[in-house]
Amino acid sequence: MTAVPSRLDPRWRDVVTGKRTTNFSMLASKMLMLRIVMSAKNDPSTTNISKCCSEVYEFFEKNKTLAASDIAALFR
């Protein structure tokens, strides 16, 4: 099983701002990331970016078994 990086890992910021991308294999990951990246672009405030990072982290932490390939692709 792929480990989910720490909630404090700075790479989460790159994920939510669209700097770190991949072709997601899981539809739920793809849908979440489309919404999150759009939210981060529309409101790039520190507060919103932090909220987005937390939401994405929680999603991948809860779904780490199903989304293992997406996690691995994002953080290689």
Q: Tens-digit pLDDT profile for the chain (76 aa)?
A: 679 999 999 999 999 999 999 999 999 999 999 999 999 999 999 999 999 999 999 999 999 999 999 999 999 8
Question: Considering only CA atoms, which of 31, 30, 8 is closest in space to residue 74?
Answer: 30
* pTM exceeding 0.85: yes
Query: Locate tokens 């997601």: which residue?
Result: 24
Q: Cα angle at 48 between 66 and 8, to 5 degrees?
A: 55
Please report how the helices 46-62 and 27-42 are oriented relative to each other, as an axis angle in degrees rounded to 10.
170
CB atoms within 10 A of CB 31: 11
